């Protein structure tokens, strides 16, 4: 078994930034990412070579081990010295990421840590739905991809393809991969980052059987592809017949040498990545120190993940400038608070090794911060003025499924809420709220698996909970615009004029994908809104707020409001949007324009109730006039299945109010059907498609948009929602 390196050797390498590679493993569910990471860990001495491919060492949640899929991103530092001849050793920081779309928000956050990715693609299934999603995410983060075509053994032993057929498959996979780079990477990287076997940035192999090669490795080897074929062609092949392939073509050699030769070190990567992921002035002193990955500059850390353990909150981040040390005072930009780092460490899989100093270009684990959330920016306490937060990671998921949680014993209610609050810190894609009408504890997530895993995590942390059947998250909106609505307060001293409009799709998409609060100062935000939305110049000038459900508040009144009144109105606005008139669901995609507001003769004790009554009446009138509608979340569902099941599969969508977007029958072994499927029907649809295809269909659901519930179904759904909430009478 290879010798595990001492921490001192890894710390020495951390100072040699040109010898660091921060990379991730990404790809579709079950394409072999975690199996590949096991083989890399065995090379570093963290895992017995006999267990590599089976141990799932980076899947250290029990639930991950049980299900055989990765749910959280995990990382580890590897010392690699067998790479290039006559070269110093390399420090490779490896991040393994989830492949299931319910957890793709965790992929987005993990990508902020790395400069390159190895995209793992199943040779049989080729580049499919989640492969495309993660490649797009990586390129949007300025992360360079290389390609590993996995499960090559299956082409020989299961599909029994000829050499020519295998070659055609390779060409098709590489062409699909390069098409995505051409489509999603910015110039000049959409040309420079394309892959080819001749360039050495494509590897082929079997992660399960622990062998892989690049073209260069194959050319230097005594074995050729026909020898690999012979080992799998035997009628009764066993582990022994192909075991020597891992000796001739050790998988860690192919993958890690591809990483070292073709993925950038932090110094080179930050030269082009900082401008892409940070909205500040690239020519400022702070901008320059990050672009140059300067270990002597002010400390700047972008945090991608926060976990709760017995020591408190553990934050994982990438150091873009300066050096991180123990007992150091820092400033949290988003929270606007000073704090002190207590301890720092490097990740070694399930363990953390305490260290004294970690320089720029590395990944750090920070202990002791109390007011911390994923996506926070840490800055040296002496360099606050110039700094702006890192651009918000664009999560590709949004909570669309909700369930009611109840503790087994009422005495555990507060403990359950505390555990849920911890989960919210760790996972920004979860939402928790208490229904004011009936006291339900509602946990919302991106899919049934997301909620199931979260509930199991609560049980593991000490509170048994019962979970209701998951249901879709509905919202309420309006179809048209209202006229100008005028109201007067109960004491007859305050007046209000406002108008409601349905927000257009371009503006909705912007606020869904961007955390506008990170764009500072306001003059910069105005320019961005002008370019990226359909808001008018007057609306942008008077923009107040957009909430998490894409409702916008604009104030165009002549009266300049004091902060107290402005904050009171924002608080009222927040409460009103939580409880729509149709069935108590949240309002969404509504633009509220206040054209006039007069506040007279109201003391501060009564101002909230007076303004609340006035705003409630005006918004209710406006919604009624603009025609209320019920909105539901829609999945973009991609189904892969054998060609012979297409006919039966295309008859099912109509039964579940789904619309077929496209049918692709060009692939040799499978067809691909794309649907727009209501989330409320997704569980029963999954059962039906599984049954109709004898379990041979594979599908993934990704949030698409909120859309209006069909009129012929809306009354029944509204009645059911009102009944569940106890507001049916």
pTM of the model: 0.79
State mean pLDDT over 202-231. 93
20 has pLDDT over 60: yes
- If you average pLDDT over every residue of the chain, what do you get? 86
- Do residues 358 and 440 share a domain? no
pLDDT for the residue 102: 39
- Contact between residue 618 and residue 579 where contact means Cβ atoms under 8 Å apart: no
Torsion angle in degrees (nearest 10) through CA of 450, 453, 459, 465: 50
Radius of gyration of the chain from Cα atoms? Answer: 27
614 and 635 in one domain? Answer: no
Mark which of 431, 457, 473 sits at the end of a domain: 473
Taking each continuous run of H as one helix and of E as one strand, the counts in the chain are 25, 33
In this prediction, residue 255 carries a pLDDT of: 94
386 in any annotated domain: no
In tens, the pLDDT along 587-625 reads 999 999 999 999 988 888 889 999 999 999 999 999 999
Query: 110-159 pLDDT, tens per residue?
Result: 888 899 999 999 998 888 766 787 898 899 889 999 999 999 999 998 88
Whether residue 244 sits in one domain with residue 337: no
- pLDDT greater than 80 at residue 684: yes
Domain termination site, one of 424, 439, 473 = 473
Residue recorded with tokens 């073209």: 215
We report the CATH number of the domain holding residue 95 as 3.40.50.300
- pLDDT bracket for residue 46 (50, 70, 90): very low
* Predicted pLDDT of residue 618: 96
Query: Both 307 and 356 in a single domain?
Result: yes
Lowest-pLDDT range of 45-59, 292-306, 359-373, 621-635: 45-59
pLDDT value of residue 349: 58
Whole-number Å distance between alpha carbons of 244 and 105: 39
The residue among 347, 380, 413 that closes a domain is 380
Q: Are 118 and 32 in contact (CB under 8 A)?
A: no
C-alpha 42/C-alpha 37 separation (Å) is: 9
Stronger pLDDT, 513 or 463, i.e. the higher one? 463
- Residue 147: how many CB atoms within 10 A of its CB? 26
396 confidence band (pLDDT: 50, 70, 90): very low
pLDDT at 426 over 90: no
Q: Of 201-210, 306-315, 679-688, where does mean pLDDT reach its minimum?
A: 306-315
- Calculate mean pLDDT across residues 15-30: 89
Q: Is 295 a member of any domain?
A: yes
Q: What is the mean pLDDT of residues 242-261?
A: 92
Answer yes or no: is pLDDT of 361 > 90. yes
Over residues 26-30, the mean pLDDT reads: 79
Q: Residue 645: pLDDT above 50?
A: yes
At residue 131, φ and ψ (nearest 5 deg) are -55, -50
CA–CA gap between residue 300 and residue 332 (Å, rounded):
10
Residues 374 and 317: their CA atoms lie apart, in Å, by: 9
In a domain, 393, yes or no: no
Q: CB–CB of 466/409 below 8 Å? A: no
| β-sheet bridge partners, residue 339 | 330
pLDDT by residue (tens digit) across 65-77?
343 333 334 567 7
Can you spell out the DSSP letters for 206-224? ETTTTEEE-HHHHHHSS--
Instruction: Read off the pLDDT of each residue in 622-633 and give the average, rounded to a whole number.
Output: 96
The answer to whether the CB of 341 falls within 8 A of the CB of 369 is yes
How confident is residue 384, by pLDDT bands cut at 50, 70 and 90? confident
Answer whether residue 105 shows pLDDT above 50.
Answer: yes
Phi, psi dihedral angles at 82 (to 5 degrees): -100, 30
**Residue 677 is assigned to a structural domain of this protein:** yes
Please tell me which residue, 349 or 15, carries the higher pLDDT value.
Answer: 15
**pLDDT beyond 50 at 710:** yes
Q: Are residues 225 and 86 in the same domain?
A: yes
In this structure, are 617 and 681 located in the same domain? Answer: no
Q: Residue 382 — pLDDT band, cuts 50, 70, 90?
A: confident
Peptide bond into 139 cis (omega under 30): no
**115 and 215 share one domain:** yes
pLDDT for residue 53: 43
Q: Are residues 587 and 650 in the same domain?
A: no
Q: Check which CATH number belongs to the domain holding 569 and give it.
A: 3.30.230.10
**Structure tokens belonging to residue 515:** 């955390």
Helix (H) or strand (E) holding 678: strand 671-678
pLDDT (0 to 100) of residue 80: 79
Shortest CA distance to 301 belongs to which of 383, 394, 423?
383
State whether 635 and 609 are in the same domain. Answer: no
Measured CA to CA, the distance from residue 208 to residue 206 in angstroms comes to 5
- Indicate if the pLDDT at residue 559 is higher than 50: yes
Using CA atoms, how far apart are residues 471 and 424, in angstroms rounded to an integer?
A: 20
pLDDT, residue 440, reads 85
Handedness of CA 710, 715, 718, 723 (dihedral sign): negative
Q: What is the pLDDT of residue 262?
A: 97
For every residue of 343-374, DSSP letters joined together read EEEEEETTEEEEESEEETTSEEEEE--SS--T
End-to-end CA distance of the chain: 71
Average pLDDT of 397-403? 84
The reply to whether 6 falls in a domain is no
Asked if residue 3 is part of any domain, the answer here is: no
Q: Which residue has the tokens 């270009």?
A: 361
Confidence of residue 447 (pLDDT cuts 50, 70, 90): confident
- Kindly indicate the confidence band of residue 3, based on its pLDDT and cuts at 50, 70 and 90: very low
Q: Of 87 and 48, which is predicted with more confidence?
A: 87
Instruction: Report the alpha-carbon distance of residue 510 to residue 364 in Å, rounded.
Output: 32
Closest-CA residue to 108 (of 447, 394, 364): 394
CA separation for the pair 163, 257 (Å, rounded): 26
Same domain, 192 and 332: no
Q: How sure is the predictor about 378, in pLDDT bands with cuts at 50, 70 and 90? A: very high
Residues 422 and 509 placed together within one structural domain of the fold: no
Q: Using the structure block, give the residue that is written with the tokens 């390196």.
A: 5
We report the CATH number of the domain holding residue 307 as: 2.40.30.10
Provide the number of structural domains found in the chain: 5
- Catalogue the E-assigned strands of 60-113: 74-80, 90-96
| pLDDT tens-digit series, residues 163-201 | 999 999 999 999 999 999 999 999 999 999 999 999 999
CA dist., res. 533 & res. 516, Å (int): 12
Sign of CA dihedral 614, 618, 619, 624: positive
Domain that holds residue 593: 477-626
Provide the CATH number for the domain around residue 456: 3.30.70.870
* Strand ranges (E), 495-542: 495-502
Q: How confident is the model at residue 717 (pLDDT cuts 50, 70, 90)?
A: very high
| 544: its two tokens | 């107040």
Q: Tokens 């090559």: give the residue.
A: 152
Does residue 394 fall inside a structural domain? Answer: no
Domain assignment present for residue 396? The answer is no
CA dist 460 and 469 (Å) reads 20
Q: What is the pLDDT of residue 173?
A: 95
Judge whether residue 39 has pLDDT over 80: no
Claim to verify: residue 81 and residue 151 sit in the same structural domain = yes
How many Å apart are CA 27 and CA 255, to the nearest integer? 15
């Amino acid at each position: 078994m290879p010798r595990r390196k001492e921490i001192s050797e890894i710390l020495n390498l951390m100072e040699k930034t040109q010898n660091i590679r921060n990379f991730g493993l990404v790809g579709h569910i079950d394409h072999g990412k975690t199996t590949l990471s096991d083989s890399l860990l065995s090379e570093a001495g963290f895992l017995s070579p006999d267990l590599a491919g089976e141990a799932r060492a980076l899947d250290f949640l029990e639930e991950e081990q049980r299900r055989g899929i990765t749910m959280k991103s995990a990382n580890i530092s590897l010392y690699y010295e067998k790479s290039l001849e006559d070269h110093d050793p390399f420090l490779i920081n490896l991040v393994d990421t989830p492949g299931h779309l319910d957890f793709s928000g965790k992929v987005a956050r993990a990508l902020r840590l790395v400069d390159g990715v190895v995209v793992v693609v199943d040779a049989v299934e080729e580049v499919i739905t989640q492969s495309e999603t993660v490649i797009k995410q990586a390129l949007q983060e300025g992360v360079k991809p290389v390609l590993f075509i996995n499960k090559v053994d299956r082409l020989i032993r299961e599909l029994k393809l000829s050499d020519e057929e295998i070659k055609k498959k390779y060409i098709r996979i590489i062409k699909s991969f390069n098409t995505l780079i051409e489509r999603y990477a910015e110039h000049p990287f959409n040309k420079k980052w394309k892959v080819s076997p001749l360039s050495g940035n494509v590897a082929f192999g079997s992660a399960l059987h622990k062998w892989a090669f690049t073209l260069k490795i194959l050319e230097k080897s005594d074995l050729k592809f026909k020898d690999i074929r012979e080992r799998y062609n035997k009628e009764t092949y066993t582990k022994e017949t192909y075991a020597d392939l891992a000796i001739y073509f050790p998988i860690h050699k192919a993958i890690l040498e591809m990483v070292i030769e073709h993925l950038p070190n932090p110094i080179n990567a930050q030269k082009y990545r900082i401008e892409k992921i940070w909205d500040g002035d690239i020519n400022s002193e702070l901008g320059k120190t990050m672009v140059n990955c300067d270990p002597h500059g002010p400390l700047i850390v972008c945090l991608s993940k926060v976990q709760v353990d017995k020591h408190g909150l553990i934050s994982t981040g990438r150091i873009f400038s300066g050096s991180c040390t123990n007992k150091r005072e820092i400033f949290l930009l988003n929270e606007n608070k000073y704090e002190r780092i207590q301890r720092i460490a490097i990740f070694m899989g399930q363990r953390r090794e305490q260290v004294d100093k970690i320089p720029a270009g590395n990944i750090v684990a920070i202990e002791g911060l109390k007011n911390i959330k994923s996506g926070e920016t840490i800055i040296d306490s002496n360099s606050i003025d110039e700094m702006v937060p890192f651009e918000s990671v664009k999560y590709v998921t949004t909570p669309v499924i909700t369930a009611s949680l109840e503790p087994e014993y009422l005495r555990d209610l507060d403990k359950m809420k505390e555990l849920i609050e911890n989960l919210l810190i760790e996972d920004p894609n979860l939402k928790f709220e208490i229904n004011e009408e009936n006291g339900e504890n509602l946990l919302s997530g991106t899919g049934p698996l997301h909620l199931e895993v979260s509930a199991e995590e609560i049980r593991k942390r000490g509170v048994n909970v019962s979970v209701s059947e998951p249901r879709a998250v509905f919202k309420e909106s309006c179809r048209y615009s209202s006229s100008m609505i005028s109201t007067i307060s109960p004491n007859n001293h305050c007046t209000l004029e406002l108008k409601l409009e349905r927000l257009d799709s371009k503006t909705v998409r912007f606020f869904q994908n961007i955390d506008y609060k990170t764009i500072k100062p306001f003059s910069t935000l105005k320019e961005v809104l002008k370019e990226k939305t359909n808001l008018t110049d007057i609306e942008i000038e008077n923009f107040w707020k957009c909430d998490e459900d894409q409702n916008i508040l604009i104030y165009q009144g002549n009266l300049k409001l004091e902060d107290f009144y402005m904050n009171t109105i924002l608080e009222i606005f927040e409460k009103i949007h939580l409880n729509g008139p149709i069935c108590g669901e949240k309002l969404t995609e509504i633009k509220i324009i206040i054209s006039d507001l007069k506040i007279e003769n109201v003391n501060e004790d009564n101002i909230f109730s007076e303004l609340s009554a006035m705003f409630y009446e005006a918004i209710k009138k406006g919604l009624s006039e603009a025609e209320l509608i019920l909105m539901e979340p829609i999945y973009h569902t991609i189904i892969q299945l054998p060609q012979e099941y297409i006919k039966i599969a295309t008859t099912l969508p109509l039964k579940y109010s789904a619309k077929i977007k496209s049918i692709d029958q060009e692939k040799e072994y499978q067809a691909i059907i794309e649907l727009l499927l209501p989330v409320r029907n997704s569980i029963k649809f999954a059962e039906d498609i599984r049954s109709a295809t004898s379990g041979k269909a594979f599908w993934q659901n990704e949030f698409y948009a909120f859309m209006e519930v069909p009129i012929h179904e809306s009354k029944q759904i509204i009645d059911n929602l009102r009944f569940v909430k106890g507001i049916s009478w």
